[in-house]
């Protein structure tokens, strides 16, 4: 990502926050949603936050968007049956390891994209292995020397890569 792309993403976020509309927070003199808010953000703002985080951590924004779509459909209120939380569906232990509050959408996105970037680094930039680790855990990827032979994980990797192509187009 270039510096220009990072600045453009920041400008988009600022523009979205400035044009939020007449919500109760805006009419109360707030400048819009801030970290720690429990206010639901529109999907466009969530996507802009993902693009900004991807730029910050040097990963392809289409991959971050694809993971968020697969994990939660960009829903910050999403909760899985196994306890994953928010837009990028972070498990509490993963969130604790990243020193973030997974219920804060800003921290959840930042932490999820940072974790994805760490996994990409661990697996030499191999998106398939990083995605498998995001889904099944790096221990399973290491144990099997590749994508674990779990139908859920195999389907997850294929689905995210398909979404990534859609977001790249």
Cα→Cα distances 108→19, 77, 144, Å: 23, 11, 29
3-class DSSP state of 79: strand
CA 162 and chain centroid, separation: 16
Phi, psi of 160 (to 5 degrees): -65, -40
| Cβ neighbours, 10 Å, residue 103 | 16
Q: Which of 71, 152, 154, 166 is catalytic?
A: 71
Classify each residue of 129-153 as buried b or exposed e, where b means 16 or more C-beta atoms within 10 Å of its C-beta: bbbbbbbbebebbeeeeebbeeeeb
Query: Is 166 noted as a catalytic residue in this protein?
Result: no
Dihedral over Cα of 120, 94, 132, 3: its sign: negative
CA distance 41 to 35: 11
CA distance 26 to 59: 33
Positions marked catalytic = 71
């Amino acid at each position: 990502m270039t510096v220009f792309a990072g600045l453009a993403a920041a400008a988009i976020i600022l523009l979205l926050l400035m044009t939020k509309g007449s919500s109760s927070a805006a009419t109360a003199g707030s400048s819009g949603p801030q970290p720690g808010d429990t206010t639901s953000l529109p999907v466009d703002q969530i996507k802009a936050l993902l693009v900004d985080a991807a730029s910050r951590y040097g990963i392809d924004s289409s991959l971050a968007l694809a993971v968020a779509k697969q994990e939660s459909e960009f829903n910050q209120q999403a909760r899985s049956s196994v306890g994953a939380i928010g837009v990028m569906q972070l498990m509490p232990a993963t969130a604790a390891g990243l020193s973030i509050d997974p219920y804060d959408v800003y921290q959840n996105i930042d932490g999820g994209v940072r974790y994805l970037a760490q996994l990409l680094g661990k697996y030499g930039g191999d998106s398939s292995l990083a995605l498998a680790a995001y889904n099944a855990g790096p221990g399973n990827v290491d144990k099997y020397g590749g994508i674990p032979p779990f139908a859920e994980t195999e389907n997850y990797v294929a689905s995210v890569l398909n979404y990534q192509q859609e977001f790249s187009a």
